[in-house]
Each structure stands twice: as C-alpha cells, then as structure tokens.
Amino acid sequence: MRAAPITFHASVTGSSNSQVSWSVLNGTQPVPGLISASGALQPITDCALLGARLTVQATSVASPAAVGSASVSVQIGAVNPATITVPTNETLVFAATDLPCGNNSTDLPPSGYQWSITGGAAGGTLGPGPGNAVAPSAFVMYTAPAAIGTYALNVTLRESTRSAAITVAQPVSYTGTMQLCRSGHTATLLATGAVLLVGEGGDYTGIGGCGAPPSAPPSAVPAATAELFDPVTSTFAPTALPIYPNKHAHAATLLKDGRVLLTGGIDSGVSSVHAEIYDPATGAYTATGDMTQGHSYHATAALADGRVVIVGDWPAGAPPEIYDPSAGAFTALTNAGSCCAPFSTATLLNSGEVLIAGGGFSSGAETAYLLDASAHSLVQTGSLNQGRLGHTATLLGNGKVLVVGGIEQAYLFQSQSTGGSISQTAELYDPATGKFTMTSGAMRAPRALHSAAMLPDGRVLIVGGVLQLPAQYDEFDGQDALLYYQFTIYNYATEIYDPATDQFSAGPVIPARVSPTTTTLLSGHLLIAGGGPLAAELY
C-alpha cells in the first residue's frame, strides 16, 4: 500500500502501430484510474485492494486481441511489532499496520485479517484484540507460552501474508511484591541498605496485573504514599505518608547526612513549590523551605558539599535552584537564560560541575549546559547529536556520561496524537573536550521512558521503557493514514552497555515496565521496580 509508482513497459510486434492501452483488473473487475496512459501504476490507497492480486494489462491499439499481462500482489502492511523478545506467559497486542485505512472497514472481506502461530498452540495463544479495532481482526492479543522458544505470528488478508518473529525467553525471577502500583516514582538507596520508593502511580502498560488504586483513603493512593524495600527479607512495607501528597513528577535526592530531599511535583495541575525531607532514623517527614518557583518533571543532583541542584520544570520557565540543607533554603540562579527544559537529566561530573542534557516538551532538545554551583554560573557546552527527552544519563567510571535513547519528537499531552519517534542511539559526553560523540556500538532496540543503573563492574544495565508510542489516526494527513495507527510497544529485553568495548549486549528479559526504577543495592544486586507488575525483580 502506498508504494511509489511502478512503471510497466510493453512492446508490440508485427505492426507499425506500437501504441498500447493500459488497464488494471481485480479478478475480472476493472479498477479505473489506477494506471496512467504511459503505464505508471499509481500508489494504492483503496482498502478494498488490500491483499488482492491485480492484473496489469497492456492491449495493442492496432490489434485489441493482442494482450500482455503482469500480476501484481498488493501486500498488506507489516505486523507491528515485527520482531520482539517477551517473557514466558506475557500478553501483548500485535497490529496489522494498514489501519485505519481511511477509517473504513467495510471494504475488507468479512473474514478480515486472519492470525495464526507457526507451531500451533505450543507457540502461544491468540485472542481478540482491543475493542477499538477499526477493521475485522486488525489487532490480536497474543499470550506467550510457558516454554521458551522462537515462533512466527502470521497474519493473512486475501492472498497476502506477513509475519512477526517472537522469541519467548525465561524472565528474571521476581522478588518481593510492592504495596501499590507505581510508575514514574522515585527510588532512593538509603545508608541502611533499604530503598525508599515514593509517589506516582498507575500501571502504564495496562497489562501488568496492576489495577487502578482506590481514590481513598490517602494510604491507598500511590502519589500520596511511600514504601520501603528491605533487601534482607526481599519485602516491601509501607512507611509514613509524605506531608505533601503530590508526589507525581517529583524528584528525590539523597542528602549527605543520609536523609532524602523530596522536591516539587504536580499539585492541582501546577508545579509545586513545596519540599520535604524523609529521615530514615525516625521514618518521618519534615517540611523544609519552599523552592523559589514550582518544579515538576525536573532533575536533581547532589553536590559533594551536600547541596542539591534542581533543574527543569513543566511546561518550562523555572530557573535552576540550589538547596542548602544547613539553611533549609533554596536559591535560584539569576543568569540561567533559557535553561532548563522539563525531562532533562542532571549528572554530577567528577569536576564537581553538573551536566544538564536534553529534555523538552514535544521535541527533544539538543542543548546541554554545565552548571558550576560554587560560582553560581551556567554555560552551554557541546550539543547532543540527537534531541532527547525521556532519556537517561549515567556517569561512567572513566568520567564520561552515557546518554541513552529517549523520545526525539512526540505529542505526549495532546488528545489527537501522532505518536513519536523513539531513539535507538546513545552518545557519550567527554568533560575533557566538552563534546558528545555517538557510541560506536548501536543499541539493540529503540528505547524511551526507561531506567539505567551502574553494575558493580562498571557496565550499565538499561531496563524497560517503550519501543513505540501510541498513535491515533492522523486526521490532518488522510493520504498517509495507513502509517499512523499504532499501539504502544514495550521493551521486554534489557541491554547492557560496556564502556571497555563501547558496545551494547543483550541483558535479562523482564515483564513490560514503563518509567520503572533501577537501584543498585549495597550487595551489588539491582532492584527493578514499578512501571508494570507489582512484583519486583533482583538482578
């Protein structure tokens, strides 16, 4: 569908009149207007022709009985996702990418798209897709088998068949079960070895077995609650309620004295100015001074002297601030200019400066800044090679910063969405040169809204996120409507970056998780929590 024009050629022998007339048949029925007088077959957008086998005919003008023909198969669009690795027993949606096809299902045959698994029931089971399917059987719900293996998921419409390759792998074993669904929450390793998980909520995947929490009491609302993970018993337990129950798009930072600073978030639709401190010794929260402006979807970095840098705000406008725990007060930078965007990252470098990279609202920014908290100065440094938001930035043992994935462009907060472009690239920031360079090894898959954490050996584990954002019918470009209907595709396979080789390799397989947290424990294990199922994993 919508391929570039294809030009056919025909020659006439035995007559000085070499002219031909061109026509296209669908079976015995002519399809007018599809081929030009010069033999150029036009891009096909008619849903009725999806999967059909057409006949292109050239008829001699001098002798109409002399007819030459060619067969043209109109292939349906590829299965989406086309290649994926999933855990055993996982459920996900596959789609035929031709839809919404003019938002009209009546042109398709009553049988619609027919789905099957090579290997039969041993390769998994199929069920009805989501209820908003535009055409018969355009989507299918696939549930992986309990046994590992490689299978093909096939879809057929008329005479056209496309397939997806599915690898079913054994996932990382679960550890304890979280008290509540959390996605986009914060996780902070305490000096005791426990992990404090605060706020956010919801099950972004919708398939992780994590139902919507009740609206009351506050103790059952993730954004108003917190819990502690005990690595000794591998259990989660509730802890005291935060003072400000707006822990959505907030940030958490470990202070030098072992307490945790919680800043900002969304409060009644606007960025909150409030901040509070959690004390592991008492298990209680105390209010600290308010920020000079509200911050949400922001990033923070703890400085060596104990102060904390806060950067970014949604939708934009708040300057960076520096928190002084000894005074319990925030000070805004007055020379910040256009810095800093929401969804940016803040990474403390070995020099003591803070690298602020990327971010944005509907498009990922390429700009990066260096903040010197001692001098209260902010300067631009080298630009990212790719605009990014929803990315991660990790300080490596060699002093460089690994920036991974992210959304290049998206319409995350509009009712009519055309999805977005997810990056499959990563780059390194070198403080010695002030420049970003692309990694020599390519990421194994596109990835955004993921998490990353350092392994004890200096490698970086990259976990969760999405391969593709959901998209609705693009009503502003009806010609290309076939390209713009898709479901979210999640990352089940993790990957590991090795600074020694500058390459990415396959990591463990986990259930779908969007905006999870990955926390390196004192034991060296990594706690992967939230963004999907209530149960967490230890790697």
For the segment 421-443, the average pLDDT, to the nearest whole number, is: 96
Pairing of strands 377-380, 368-372: antiparallel
The CA-to-CA distance between both ends of the chain, in Å, stands at: 44
Identify which of 83-92, 100-109, 130-139, 210-219 has the greatest average pLDDT.
83-92
pLDDT band at 400 (very low <50, low <70, confident <90, very high): very high
For the segment 326-349, the average pLDDT, to the nearest whole number, is: 90
Question: What pLDDT is recorded for position 410?
Answer: 59
What is the CATH code of the structural domain delimited by 79-169? 2.60.40.10
pLDDT tens-digit readout, 318-333: 889 999 999 999 999 8
Residue given tokens 């929401």 in the structure block: 342
User: What three-state secondary structure class fits 479?
Assistant: helix
Using a pLDDT cut of 70, give the percent of the chain over it: 87
Question: What pLDDT is recorded for position 137?
Answer: 75
> Would you say the CATH fold of 174-538 matches that of 79-169?
no
Question: What pLDDT is recorded for position 447?
Answer: 95
Question: What pLDDT is recorded for position 391?
Answer: 96
Question: What pLDDT is recorded for position 204?
Answer: 55
- The pTM assigned to this predicted structure is 0.88
Residue given tokens 């006439």 in the structure block: 12
Residue 135 Cα distances to 91, 138, 160, 486, 497, angstroms = 21, 5, 16, 14, 42
For the segment 362-374, the average pLDDT, to the nearest whole number, is: 87
For the segment 263-270, the average pLDDT, to the nearest whole number, is: 92
Q: What distance in Å separates the CA atoms of residue 152 and residue 219, rounded to the nearest whole number?
A: 45
What is the Rg, in whole angstroms, of the alpha carbon atoms belonging to the chain? 28
Question: What pLDDT is recorded for position 415?
Answer: 41
User: What three-state secondary structure class fits 153?
Assistant: strand
Question: What pLDDT is recorded for position 412?
Answer: 46
Among candidate residues 6, 10, 53, 12, the one with its CA nearest the CA of residue 34: 6
Q: What distance in Å separates the CA atoms of residue 341 and residue 316, rounded to the nearest whole number?
A: 6
Q: What's the DSSP call for residue 489?
A: E
For the segment 138-153, the average pLDDT, to the nearest whole number, is: 93
Question: What pLDDT is recorded for position 376?
Answer: 85
Three-state secondary structure string covering 282-307: CCEEEECCCCCCCCCCCEEEECCCCC
Residue given tokens 């994935």 in the structure block: 405
Lowest mean pLDDT among 123-132, 184-193, 206-215, 439-448: 206-215
pLDDT tens-digit readout, 477-490: 444 444 445 678 89
Determine whether domain 174-538 maps to CATH 2.130.10.80.
Answer: yes
Contact 143, 127 (CB under 8 A): yes
Residue 454 Cα distances to 352, 371, 421, 462, angstroms = 19, 23, 26, 9
Q: What distance in Å separates the CA atoms of residue 528 and residue 523, rounded to the nearest whole number?
A: 14
**DSSP output for 26-54:** ETTEE-TTSB-TTSEEPPP--GGGTT-EE
Mean pLDDT for the chain overall: 88
pLDDT band at 178 (very low <50, low <70, confident <90, very high): very high
Residue given tokens 């969804």 in the structure block: 343
Q: Is 441 left (phi over 0), alpha (psi -120 to 50) or beta?
A: beta
Q: What distance in Å separates the CA atoms of residue 160 and residue 156, rounded to the nearest whole number?
A: 6
Residue 205 reports pLDDT greater than 70: no
Domain boundaries, the chain: 6-73, 79-169, 174-538
pLDDT band at 533 (very low <50, low <70, confident <90, very high): confident
Contact 254, 272 (CB under 8 A): no
> What's the sign of the alpha-carbon dihedral 513, 518, 521, 525?
positive
Instruction: Retrieve residue 529's tokens.
Output: 């929590």
For the segment 6-25, the average pLDDT, to the nearest whole number, is: 94
Longest dimension (CA), the chain: 101
Contact 452, 47 (CB under 8 A): no
Lowest mean pLDDT among 6-20, 207-221, 505-519: 207-221
Residue 352's beta-bridge partner residues?
none
Question: What pLDDT is recorded for position 136?
Answer: 64
